[in-house]
Amino acid sequence: MLAARKLLSKPTAEGAYSPGPPLPISHPKPSLLAKIFIEISSLYQSASSILSPSSSSNKPSSKGGGADLGVSADIRGYVKHEGALTKALVHKWLGVERGESGKPGEAIAYLSWAVEELSEVKDRSRKLPGIGSNDRDKADRKGRTADELTIVSLFLDTYNRENNSVSGNTQCILETWNSTIINCVRYTFRRCLRE
């Protein structure tokens, strides 16, 4: 998580003035961020499965080899919350990567998925217990989820507009022969180009 935060520190400061696409030049590649968040998500998923009360590793064995981990429900809730948030961030960065690559349709799919997951995380965070007596951490986690939801919605709206707009340079014309579609040709106003 530290690597992702370090990569995003300068672009976050620059993006505070104009969040959303296009990304600033100093921004790390979205595919790199997606890979980092995939790894973080898998680590949270592993931790969640180890800490779950139904896990066989938590149950004391009759042979005396295993021991109860004694993990509180607050920590299990925290790991579950952070795992869900990280999973949504994976979809966010995969969507941004597709959008920056000029494929807004795929970006819309990933970002819609991220919005759904972030909405679920936000709804569940209302019931999230605070770890220890510090309610400030709980409020920070809720605020971070709401901020991510706002940013993902901004990216989604931008890519929706881009996908719905028709540009002369990217419009597709279908070549037909005897009413059978042969090829889709992109054209510019000057000449036709085959793909």
At residue 191, the pLDDT reads 40
Sheet holding 172-177, edge to edge: 172-177, 180-187, 192-193
* Long-range pairs for 131-137: beta carbons < 8 A, 24 or more residues apart: 131/74, 131/75, 131/78, 132/74
pLDDT for residue 47 is more than 50: yes
Q: Tell me the mean pLDDT in the region 36-46.
A: 93
Q: Rounded to an integer, what distance in angstroms lies between the CA atom of residue 54 and that of residue 50?
A: 9
Q: What is the pLDDT of residues 113-126, one digit of tens each?
A: 999 999 999 888 76
Task: Work out the percent of the chain whose per-residue pLDDT is above 90.
Answer: 30
Q: Which residues neighbour 47 within 8 Å (Cβ) at sequence distance 6 or greater?
A: 79, 83
Instruction: Find all residues with CB under 8 Å of 107, minimum gap 6, and list them.
Output: 95, 96, 98, 99, 155, 159
Q: What is the pLDDT of residues 13-31, one digit of tens each?
A: 555 546 677 887 778 889 9
pLDDT at 88: 95
